[in-house]
Structure 1
Amino acid sequence: MSFVVATIVLASFGAALVIGGLLFFLRPHWLLDWLKGMAVFGLIFLGLYSLVIAINIGGYRSIHGLQTVASIATQRQGDEIWRVTLQPSGESPVTETLRGDQWQIDAQIIRFSGPLRWLGIAPGYRLERLAGRYTSLEQERSSPRSVVGLSERIWPDLWALDRQFNLPFVEGVYSNATFMPMRDGAMFDVRLSVSGLVAVPVNEEARKAVQLWDQ
């Protein structure tokens, strides 16, 4: 099931449950029975939870096997100053200036279980931030840092709520690519699966940077 269809289904289901639950209040004598009253609140809660999920998955992209989610190119602008171009898959490129010797891209991954999995909703990801880092620990602590946000915050944030409260049927996973070295003219692919992110050099400059970095 695509995220667009899943959003429509969950939003419709959630809205129907909330409206249906609120309609019970039009007949107060139904609430005299405590069990029925609890069922009403249960319906409303389930409906609201469905709406929260529907709102959130609209901000994620589905994961299908190992896929390339972005490419990154680095160009030197000065001593430990780099022009970094991020090209997310299917989106407009983002160009930022980062300081340091290495770059890192972070992503949030969300997985579903139980009835949400039965609906065929695939795991989703959202690129979270792009950052620079210094090789020297002393510089990392004292020099200016570069951190660029890549996504707008969603409220209520289902991923953050799951990390804090361990929500049912949802699993928020934090994943980040290993820091990769900066080099003039280097290009990398950022690939993702349900297990996490990995950065792969795709041209000679990137491969040389990784070889020198590993020595």
Structure 2
Amino acid sequence: MDWTALLRLPTTILLILAAIALLFTLVQLVILRHRLDHRHRWAAAGRTVLVLVGMAFTLVLTGLGLTLRGYRLLTDETPVVEIDARILSPQRWELILHWPDGTIRQIPVAGDAWRVEAVVLKWKLPAMLSGLPPLYRLDRVSGRYDDPNEEAHAPRTVTDFREAGAFDLLDLHKQYPRWVPDVDVLFGSGAYLPLVDQGHYTVSLMRTGALVARPDEATEQRIAQPF
């Protein structure tokens, strides 16, 4: 099975395929009932196999569609998000986040720097050899103060990117580890950079699971300028 191609399918397509598989299963159930009513046992046995296959595909596709929501494939270096910063007042900022799929979101941040964190999932060797790639999910973006005392007492801002009430692969692995037996390691990774007005940053994730944050050239010059 080409796991990479399957995992690249958007959630909507996976759920549509699951609906098609369910429809196929229901049709086979109707035919099975007809065969049983007419006592065509051998024909009914064949339809039973098709029903079981259809149910299996329905469950697998539905499970993938729901649990992989929010996760993306992790290659050698995968773009996670681009960030534009605009100052509102001292230590108060507005960040504009641009995802690779074109999604845009504005969030407030308090502090002297921004910090982004992601959840990374790696598989055990058999699954990796079968072509199953690592996965990641952007977890949160928060503000960070340079002064530890401010970090402890000043207002904090944290934006959670998990969908409220959503059940994903991370929850599935924590609650039912036997259902996802090939998970080798599940860990968090974070990176941060100083905030400057009109700053532009890119965040990528290495295949090792490390987040890498980079300012563009103009932003880097602003960061290097003395106050």
TM-score by length of 2: 0.65
**Could you tell me whether the CA contact under 8 Å between 2:124 and 2:183 is conserved in 1?**
yes
Percent identity (aligned): 25
Query: What does residue range 46-125 of structure 1 map to in structure 2 within 5 Å?
Result: 55-113=66-124, 116-125=127-136
Q: Please identify, of 77-86 and 153-162, the stretch whose mean Cα deviation from structure 2 is larger.
A: 153-162
Rg comparison, structure with higher value:
2
Any gaps of 5 or more consecutive residues in structure 2? 26-58
CA shift, 1:208, in A, is 3.4
Q: Cα 1:105–1:212, aligned 2, differ >3 Å: closer, same or farther? A: farther
Q: Does 1:206 align with 2:220?
A: yes
Aligned residues: 183
Of residues 94-103 and 116-125 in structure 1, the stretch that sits farther from structure 2 once superposed is 116-125
2:131 aligned counterpart, secondary structure = coil
- Give the letter for the 1:200 counterpart: R
2:189 alignment counterpart:
176
Tell me the CA shift for residue 186 of structure 1: 1.2
Which amino acid in 2 is paired with 1:189? T
Cα distance change of structure 1 residues 84 and 54 upon mapping to structure 2, 3 Å threshold:
closer
**In 1, Cα distance between the equivalents of 2:218 and 2:74?**
29
Deviation digits for residues 164-189 of structure 1, max 9, x if unmatched? 77652013533333221010111111
- How many angstroms apart in 1 are the aligned matches of 2:120 and 2:165? 14
CA 1:49–1:169 in structure 2 vs 1: closer, same or farther (change >3 Å)? farther
Q: 1:177 to 1:114 in 2, by over 3 A?
A: closer
Q: Distance in 1 between matches of 2:225 and 2:174?
A: 37
Two-structure CA RMSD over aligned residues (Å): 3.5
Offset from partner CA, 1:135-191 (integer Å, 9 cap, x none)? 111211111110011232575443245467765201353333322101011111101
CA contact 2:83–2:96 (8 Å) conserved in 1: yes
Q: Is the 8 A contact 1:175 1:197 kept in 2?
A: no
Distance in 2 between the 1:5 and 1:168 partners? 22
Residues 63 and 123, structure 1, Cα contact 8 Å, conserved in 2 = yes
Matches within 5 A, 1:120-135: 120-135=131-146
Matched-pair contact (CA < 8 Å) for 1:162–1:172: no
* Runs (5+) with no aligned partner, structure 1: 20-47
Query: What's the TM-score once normalised by structure 1's chain length?
Result: 0.68
Distance 1:154 1:172, change over 3 A: farther
